[in-house]
Amino acid sequence: MSADRAAQLEYSEFQAAMLDEDKRRRKAAKIIAVLAHFLGRDAAKPGEALSGLTVGDVGCSAGFIADELAAAGARRTLGLDIDVPGLRKASDRFGGRVGFVCADGSRLPFPDGSVDVLVFNHIYEHVVNPDAVLADMHRVLSDDGVLYLGLGNRLGVMEPHYKLPFLSYLPPAAADRYVRAFGRADHYYERFRTRPGLRRMLADFHVWDYTFPVLAAPERFAGGELFPGAAGRTAKATLERTPRPALRALLPVVPTYLWVATKTPRRPLGAALPQPPEPVRTSR
């Protein structure tokens, strides 16, 4: 990690995707569907998938995902971020049913063991110390709590924020030159990890991988934005007929992982899927 890496305090101001409401709400639908499946609530009525649960969206920015989590029946929903402009927009629109707090993810404003569900969706690469954030999430989750994780892979060919191939492969100084050369940014702050690095980051958790289940059954998980249109139909058909060992061989280069983590051993409780979730062997 670069010694001068700093927190991105106003991320929504220079990443327009954070303010794309339709796209963020589609992501929220996928997140809620994955959580509902893991919790055995995949047959719940609309607005009841998270009924009675305390939920925190860490890295909520403008609050679209947090608003959808609240609409899914959460008893209490909090959105947390250091992105003050994003939080201001979120509070103005959704403050009636979501509490928004300016907070560092490594110092979450929750008592130990007090949160039922946490969402950490495509955030780890932006924070200065993701290991500290995961440690504090572990602290605040209840013993039967659930953590949803959307995790970018360093070995994904196309970098998702700046749309430059192999950007995440480069050391920091070279990556800075690359984004400047294409006029995308002054610096490349993001730091992705490979799958082994992510497994080490989650070493204190028990983890289930929903990446292939979502891709193989997008209609169940509102996951069409991963591979939209014809690409999505092709991916679905391919995954449905690909043997599991062949899929496992692809895991090191999958661009995005969708994982569900818990503090204590738990198994997914939802209905059978064409490609079932599999446990992730975490390691130090």
Edge-first strand listing for the sheet containing 278-280? 99-102, 76-81, 54-58, 115-121, 141-152, 256-262, 206-209, 278-280
Residue 243 has pLDDT above 90, yes or no: no
User: Is the predicted pLDDT of residue 209 greater than 80, yes or no?
Assistant: yes
More confident residue, 39 or 16: 39
143 to each of 82, 155, 282, how far by Cα in Å? 27, 33, 18
Residue 1: pLDDT band with limits 50, 70, 90: very low
Q: What is the mean pLDDT of the chain?
A: 90
Question: Which pLDDT score is estimated for 239?
Answer: 72
* Crossing angle for the helix pair 21-39 and 64-71, to the nearest 10 degrees: 40
DSSP 161-186: TT--BTGGGS-HHHHHHHHHHTTS-S
The whole-number pLDDT of residue 17 equals 61
**Cα 163 versus chain centre, distance:** 19
Q: Are 42 and 20 in contact (CB under 8 A)?
A: no
Q: Report the CATH number of the 11-154+192-248+255-264 domain.
A: 3.40.50.150
| Kind and range of the H or E run holding 144 | strand 141-152
pLDDT for residue 236 is more than 90: no
Alpha-helical (H) ranges within 72-129 are 84-94
SS3 assignment, position 29: helix
Q: What is the mean pLDDT of residues 166-171?
A: 97
Average pLDDT over residues 194-200: 97
pLDDT surpasses 50 at 220: yes
Residues 88-104, mean pLDDT to the nearest whole number: 94
- pLDDT tens digit string along 108-139? 999 999 999 999 999 999 999 999 999 999 99
Listed by start position, the domains of the chain span: 11-154+192-248+255-264, 155-191
Alpha-carbon distances, residue 279 vs 13, 258, 262 (angstroms):
37, 12, 11
Mean pLDDT of all residues in 46-53: 96
Examine the pLDDT at 149 and tell me if it is beyond 80.
yes
Percent of the chain with pLDDT strictly greater than 90 = 74
Please say whether the beta carbons of 157 and 165 come within 8 A.
Answer: yes
- 231 pLDDT band, cuts 50/70/90, is low
pLDDT band, residue 2 (cuts 50/70/90)? very low
